[in-house]
């Protein structure tokens, strides 16, 4: 891919703007040599304004999403994309979230511009478990784990049973729930069906991938080993 197109696809600016940036010498290799528009320098060797380029196409990002942010590019208020560099919104292919967390849910959120990878994560046959840490308004009654694991639970206004889910009781009003599917507001609706209310909800793991070392509001690019943990 020509350097001008590469930079434009990464969201640094239009092709015209990138042509100007190259002419002005803002694009160099790691030795400080100015690059030309038709340069075929490896991605990892290119600097833009003395900084390494953003991740190449096919990137997968893990964010520790804070409360109060919406998984959208167009909604009003604070958006998860506000926590990424502005140019990430201009990437081609587009950088999309893999699934969603609602505004009042925090924790592990994935992004990618790789459509094949996105569909692999969300495909039912991949059976990627997602783990949620929960605080409830009222004490657990004691029968929730058996109900959630039964495979017989059905949510209001739906006609298909939920897949069995594993509930780990952590305290009188604290629990950890592992789901193997992702229906609309599923965790909240499951507890609502038992007469309880979720007051705090955070996704702590996707597959075997956790948030170790990622502070709230921060993100990191996943290595190949990190990507593998999603399915491990």
Report pLDDT digits (tens) over 142-187.
999 999 999 999 999 899 999 999 999 999 999 999 999 999 999 9
State pTM to two decimals: 0.93
In a 10 Å sphere around its CB, with 0-12 CB exposed, 13-18 middle and 19+ buried, how is residue 132 labelled?
A: buried
Q: Is 130 helix (H, G, I), strand (E, B) or coil?
A: strand
Residue 72's pLDDT is: 86
Same domain, 115 and 64: yes
pLDDT tens digits along 185-224: 999 999 999 999 999 999 999 999 999 999 999 999 999 9
Tokens standing for residue 98: 């893999």
Judge whether residue 74 has pLDDT over 90: no
Rounded mean pLDDT of 84-104? 95
Question: In whole angstroms, what is the distance from residue 218 CA to residue 52 CA?
Answer: 19
Assess whether 109 and 220 both reside in one domain: yes
Q: The domain that contains 41 carries what CATH number?
A: 3.10.290.10
Same domain, 116 and 78: yes
**Domains held by the chain: number:** 3
**Which CATH number do you get for residue 81?**
3.30.70.580
Q: Which residues are known to be catalytic? A: 102
Cβ(80)–Cβ(71) below 8 Å? yes
Q: Percentage of residues in the chain with pLDDT exceeding 70?
A: 100
* Shared domain check, 165 and 187: yes
Classified as helix, coil or strand, 61 is strand
Domain hosting residue 97, numbered range:
60-124+214-231
Same domain, 110 and 218: yes
Residues 87 and 65 reside in one and the same domain: yes
């Amino acid at each position: 891919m020509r350097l001008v197109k590469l930079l434009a696809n990464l969201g640094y600016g239009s092709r015209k703007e990138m042509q100007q940036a190259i002419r002005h010498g803002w694009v160099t290799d790691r030795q400080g040599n100015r690059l030309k528009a038709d340069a075929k320098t490896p991605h990892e060797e290119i600097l833009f304004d003395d900084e390494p380029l953003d991740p190449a196409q096919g990137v997968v990002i893990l964010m520790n999403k804070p409360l109060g942010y919406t998984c959208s590019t167009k909604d009003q208020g604070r958006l998860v994309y506000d926590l990424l560099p502005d140019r990430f919104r201009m990437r081609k292919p587009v950088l999309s979230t893999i699934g969603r967390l609602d505004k009042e849910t925090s924790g592990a959120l994935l992004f990618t511009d790789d459509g094949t990878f996105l569909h692999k994560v969300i495909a039912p046959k991949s059976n990627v478990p997602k783990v949620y840490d929960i605080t409830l308004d009222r004490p657990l009654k004691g029968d929730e784990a058996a109900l959630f694991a039964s495979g017989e639970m059905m949510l209001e206004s739906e006609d298909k049973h939920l897949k069995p889910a594993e509930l780990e009781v952590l305290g009188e009003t604290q629990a950890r729930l592992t789901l193997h599917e992702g229906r609309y507001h599923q965790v909240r609706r499951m507890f609502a069906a038992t007469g309880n209310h979720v007051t705090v909800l955070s996704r702590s793991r996707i597959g075997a991938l956790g948030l170790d070392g990622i502070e709230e509001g921060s993100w990191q690019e996943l290595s190949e080993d990190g990507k593998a943990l999603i399915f491990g």
